[in-house]
Structure formats: C-alpha cells, structure tokens
Chains A and B, each alone.
Chain A
Amino acid sequence: MEVYTDYQCPSCRNFYENTLRALINDYVASGKVYLIHHDFPLPMHKYGYQAARWANAAARVGDFASVEAALYDNQDAWGSTGDIGKYVSAAMPASDFKRVEKLMEGCEGPATASNDPYGVPHLLSVAQVSRVCALDAYINEDRALGSRIPVQATPTYVITYKGQRLPAVASFVSWPILKQFFDSLLAQ
C-alpha cells in the first residue's frame, strides 16, 4: 500500500491516527502489508514541504516512525508557528537529532524547483548548487510519482496485490473497513 500525504494536511492526520497507526502496528508489523510512504506536500500548506524535509532527514538516521508520529500529533502547534524542529528533537535521542540537523543544513529556504523527475535542477550556477537542499530530491521524486497517478488530494493511497494495481483512492477509510479489505485479499 502506497500512501501520499502532506504532514500539514488535517485529513492526513486523521488518516494516520485512525487508520495507518493500527495498520502499522498490526499488518505491517506482521508482514501482511508492505507500507510505502510518499511525500506530497500541497502548495496551500505553508510548512508542509519543510515538515517533509524534516521527516526525510529523520528517515536517513532511522527515526522516521517516531518523527512521523510527532509531526501528526503536534500538527496544530507547528502548523501555526513553523517551529518543526522543536517537535522533531523531542521525538529522538539528542545524538540522532544532531545528525538530522546536519542533514537539514541548507534546507531552510523554499523548495528546490525540480526540472526532472528526480528533482535535480539542471544548469545551476555553483552558488545555486550550494544552496540546494539534498533532501528535496527525495520529496520531488515522490511528487513526480504522485503526479503520474495523478494525486489530486491528500491522503491518497494505492493498493497493489500480486502485481495488480488497484485504482488510487483519495479519501479517508477507517481501519476496520480497510482491514476487512486486506483480509479478503489475503484470503485468496
């Protein structure tokens, strides 16, 4: 199951807290479902892209799960102030946070424009390259993947079973209903 979300999206928070958490703790943990997270920050969310950068940096040091939870749990707080680092630091050991901060160097500015699907800008000057946030490549790759579906709202999820990709769904689904669907698929 691939999920496209925006950390500043209230529907995504609802989806994470009421569905994905249970899915991860139960079916992902037991190996029944392989969950792939894709970032799809929306333009109307001021800090959504920055939150995605923090989450990607946390993933590089192996703390993605705790940071993802912290971002959604404190969405209202950092969504109004933009102070995302405060909640990321509280979600991991100090040593890991230092590594995350290192990865976040150069990532204070606006999103890097992507001129190709992998977010690598072409024909930049040396000065421009030095200001590019390395994490943006991963976010822009996710957005390019989402654009091909196309993702028009978040959360959007796509389920693939035995090579058959089902149509993308852009709405909330509760865990009992989703679990029932997975159970019926796995029973075949």
Chain B
Amino acid sequence: METLNLALTWVAMHGYWFVLAGIVAVLCVRNPEKRRPVVRVLLTVGAIIVGSIFLAAAYGKMKPLPGFAWSWPSVRTSLALFAMQVESYQILSPTAANKLAHFLPFFELFLGLWLVSSILRRWSALLASLVLCGFMIAIGYAYYHGLKIDCGCGIGPAEEAGPGALLRDGVRFLLPAVVVTLGSFWVRRTPDVAPAPQDATDAAQLESLR
C-alpha cells in the first residue's frame, strides 16, 4: 500500500511537467487531423495524473498515524486529526468542519477513481477543477487572516498555508485539472475532420455514391 502511495504521490507532485510538455506538443502539431488523436492520448494521461492527485490526497488523509496498523479505528483517528486541520482554517463551524473532514477523503477517493477511469471525463475533470479552486480559496483565506496552519492537503510533507503553497499547489494541481477540463470540452465540441479526397477520381466516386 505504501509503495502505491509513493507512486501516486510522485505522479501527483510531478505530473504537471507532463501536462506542460503535452501543451507544447499539441501546439507543435499543426495538422488538425493529427492533433485530435494526440490530444485524446494526452487527455487520458492527464486525467490519470489528476486522478492520482485525488487518490494520493485521500490516502494521505486516511492512512493510519505512525505506529498504528491499518484498521477502521485507526482510519477514524486519522479522520479525526483531519477534522482538526479543517477546523484550523476557521471557515466552518466545528460541526460543519467535522462533517466535511469525514466526507472529503471518501469523495476524493471516488473522484480520483472516476478520473482515472476516464468515464465522462469532461465532467469529472470539471468537478476536480472546482474542488481544487475551493481548496486554494481556503488556503488564501487562511493566509489572509494570518493563520499559521498546515495546508492539510495530505499529499507529501506538511507545508504551511501561504503564498508559496498557493503558487505551488496552483501549478502542481490546479493547472493539470484545468488543462484536462478545457481539453476534454474542446475534444467534445470539435467535430472529427473528414479526410480530404486524394484526387479528382475519389471525389467523383464520392459524388456518385451520394
């Protein structure tokens, strides 16, 4: 399990480089016929990257504390600890913070699996982008109010909420999600380009078939 988590965390933390490279690759493909399949492949990989972000985040929030074995009581302890982190943002009431803390990790698990499956990808990516926007707004709110808190994202080592965390999380997490969202909607909207006839004979044959 820990090996899988390491792999997911690595993909989550470094996947944005692939997304950036993918954007460059798409821009380099000038032929619209060839661009679309390239975009489709990149979107599938991008969705896996964004999905890894949420799967790693869910794991980070639910994994047992050091010295505890995996069990439902140890998961409950981890979720209770996460509730303390959510409350530290001082945005929600204790009751609301507690409910969110017990809902969010399972929601992240579901969203991560949904993204990786690439089923209805544009909607899963849109939801992921909105969730990440909300997360960054929360970090910004905490920083604006001078709260020194752990950002609580659950991925990698704990880091204090601040402009640095905002910038890093924006590039690492939000950028890939937004790119996958926009790309998925673009692919959906853009019709397939029909292959052009090779010569006049082919054109005549096509006309006769009509």
Contact residues of A with B, CB < 8 Å?
Answer: 152-153, 162-164, 166-167, 169-174, 176-178, 180-181, 183-185, 187-188
Contact = CB atoms under 8 A, between A and B. Distances in A.
Given A163-B67, A181-B80, A181-B83, 14 more contacts: A152-B148, A164-B66, A170-B148, A170-B149, A172-B90, A174-B87, A177-B83, A177-B87, A177-B97, A178-B84, A181-B77, A183-B80, A184-B73, A188-B73
Contacts, number: 61
B94 interface: yes
24 contacts: A152-B148, A153-B148, A163-B67, A166-B65, A166-B81, A167-B150, A167-B158, A170-B148, A171-B148, A172-B88, A174-B87, A176-B94, A176-B98, A177-B80, A177-B84, A177-B97, A178-B84, A180-B80, A180-B98, A183-B80, A184-B76, A185-B77, A187-B73, A188-B71
3 cross-chain pairs, A with B, having the tightest CB-CB distances, nearest first: A171-B88, A181-B80, A184-B77
B98 A188 contact: no
B44 interface: no
A163 B65 CA distance: 12
B147 interface: yes
Interface in B85-102: 87-88, 90, 94-95, 97-98
Contact of A188 (B68, B84, B87, B88): B68
Contact of B67 (A153, A162, A176, A180): A162
Interface of B: 65-68, 71, 73-74, 76-77, 80-81, 83-84, 87-88, 90, 94-95, 97-98, 147-150, 158
A181 B84 contact: yes
A160 to B, nearest CB: 11
A171 B91 CA distance: 13
B67 A173 contact: no
Nearest to A11: B147
Given A164-B67, A171-B148, A184 B88 contact: no
A162 B98 CA distance: 25
A162 B94 CA distance: 27
Q: Chain A contact residues: over half helix, strand or loop, or mixed?
A: loop
A2 to B, nearest CB: 16
A82 to B, nearest CB: 26
Contacts of B74: 188
Contacts of B149: 170-171
A162 B67 CA distance: 9
Nearest to B89: A171
Contacts of A183: 80
Given A153-B148, A173-B87, A177-B87, A188 B94 contact: no
A32 to B, nearest CB: 15
A176 B98 CA distance: 9
Count chain B CB atoms within 10 A of each CB in A163, A166, A185, A187 and give the residue with the most: A185
A22 B84 CA distance: 17
B168 to A, nearest CB: 20
A184 B80 contact: yes
A154 B72 CA distance: 33
Given A184-B77, A188-B73, A169 B67 contact: no
A103 B172 CA distance: 57
B84 A173 contact: yes
Count chain B CB atoms within 10 A of each CB in A167, A170, A178, A181 and give the residue with the most: A181
Contacts of A188: 68, 71, 73-74, 77
Nearest to A180: B80
